[in-house]
Chains A and B, each alone.
Chain A
């Protein structure tokens, strides 16, 4: 499982910059991210190369952050590739909270980050269906 950093962002100018700067100044590389927002606040979700260090840096900077476990998996970079994986989840009755793609050097597969409600069950389902799970060694330090 992959440690994802989630940050609470008020909808106010300069909030995102503050986070990115804090990480940059501490030599932490952002490997993937997704932002979801409502009119009032947003949640920034990031995959970084040093998640433990990142959480400390952010907290020291007074930025509200938490670690969430997500699954990183490889899906074929072809039409219908994602649909197949989603079907496995659907059949197993596992709710997906969100997912986003991960930036990686081009290969034949795409990497998708996925947050689900029952993470261990989800891993079982993926393994059974031969969906490649990507480990932290590759995600944090490609």
Chain B
């Protein structure tokens, strides 16, 4: 596959026709988008180049929620082969239906992501993402099969058995959420194993935001090359962008998904390099097409070319979902910022929880609960208090806000085999 090394002219032509195809399909076959175009006084012919795309209104998570369950369909339902849905932590789930062509595009995309991460048909990959309505498990499953790798479809949970099979099957590629990768390493050590001796070579991590510090921590604990990838159900699932072995941002499959970054407050388009909300337009989606979908994910497009030689642009790690953003006393805070700070302290574990102390509907205070590690516990108050103080100081300078820090016993925070729940409310 040479998909990620494009000749510039050829690529522009391809992207242009891809966008036109997406617009025509949405206008002609999706009642939802037909209405959107009419209300905006737009015709598909008005969008001649990617520059004109900004005339198309954004599609939001709320639009998709209101279309529950089948309002976004642009093909008769008998052409839909599979349904996935987002977990719907807030409100109704968001439904995505895939045609045969959609499943094909999706698995090719995921295969390309896996290949960029250095996976090949020689590898044995254990998928520890949940299989089900969540797109993670099936998405990686078919992508890895497409690539020719051996797939172990373990799904999430049952950590001890995961570890046992990983050794027996000589698994060398791990697919999971970053938080589950950390949890598995912890469990392995508890069982008396050294995770570095498992023989894992590459990790593909996604399903939740991951910081570079957390990525490096996973590398150190497992002795593997950790790569981060990105995707969301509303657009397709995993396989929208992923890291090459340079691990310096995720290459977007720009020939399939057209990226833009906007100011989340004003909706204005931002130039490459500036941080804002990622907006995606999948160009070949047949079943449930979306145009200019506001992902809610905060990132930036990296303007510099990647040393690996691939011509597709990279996006930076997601520093938060705009819905994850907490505003306390006028200060915007993302959980990922806390994660970065904690990664600098060997005395505490990467598990943490943000407790929002609410009063009359407003967040009054932020408490950050942090687990001590064996290394971090000493018999001396002075030292524990000094540690608490050092962490607080680093948090204060990173967050521009002074949170309360609460040191906890190890393993006292809830572990998850899927996406970690980092934010809780305390009324």
Contacts and interface: CB of A to CB of B under 8 A. Distances in A.
B381 A43 contact: yes
B218 interface: no
Contacts of A129: none
A115 B378 CA distance: 13
Contact of B377 (A4, A45, A66, A115): A66
| Chain B interface bracket (under 10, 10 to 19, 20 to 34, 35 or more) | 10 to 19
Interface stretch (B91-99, B204-212, B406-414): B406-414
B410 A62 contact: yes
Contacts of B406: 40-41
Instruction: Select the residue from A9, A36, A97 with max chain B CB neighbours within 10 A.
Output: A97
A64 B410 contact: yes
B377 A97 contact: no
Instruction: Select the residue from A4, A8, A9, A36 with max chain B CB neighbours within 10 A.
Output: A8
A44 B32 CA distance: 64
B380 interface: yes
B412 to A, nearest CB: 7
B372 A8 contact: yes
Interface of A: 4, 6, 8-10, 15, 36, 38, 40-41, 43, 45, 62-64, 66, 68, 97, 115
Contact of B407 (A4, A40, A97, A115): A40
Contacts of A36: 381
A45 B380 CA distance: 11
Contacts of B380: 97
Contact of A62 (B372, B384, B411): B411
Nearest to B382: A97
Contacts of B372: 8, 64
B52 interface: no
A68 B384 CA distance: 15
A63 B412 CA distance: 10
B379 A68 contact: yes
B121 interface: no
Contacts of B408: 10
- The 7 A-B residue pairs with the shortest CB-CB distance in the complex, in nearest-first order: A6-B379, A68-B379, A64-B377, A8-B377, A10-B409, A40-B406, A64-B409
Contact of B412 (A4, A10, A45): A10
B379 A64 contact: no
A69 to B, nearest CB: 10
Say what secondary structure dominates the interface of chain A: strand
Interface in B386-419: 406-412
A93 B331 CA distance: 47
Instruction: Select the residue from A6, A10, A36, A115 with max chain B CB neighbours within 10 A.
Output: A10
Nearest to B388: A40
A9 B408 CA distance: 8
Contacts of A63: 409
A10 B374 CA distance: 15
A45 to B, nearest CB: 7
Instruction: Select the residue from A10, A64, A97 with max chain B CB neighbours within 10 A.
Output: A64
Nearest to A68: B379
7 contacts: A38-B385, A41-B384, A41-B406, A62-B410, A63-B409, A97-B382, A115-B379
A82 to B, nearest CB: 21
B308 to A, nearest CB: 44
B409 A43 contact: no
A13 to B, nearest CB: 13
Given A8-B372, A64-B372, A64-B374, A43 B407 contact: no
A9 to B, nearest CB: 8
Contacts of B409: 8-10, 15, 62-64
A60 to B, nearest CB: 10
A43 B408 CA distance: 12
Contacts of A10: 408-409, 412
Contacts of B384: 41, 43
A64 B412 CA distance: 11
Contacts of B379: 4, 6, 43, 45, 66, 68, 115
Contacts of A115: 379
Nearest to B407: A41
B421 to A, nearest CB: 19
A6 B372 CA distance: 14
Nearest to A5: B379
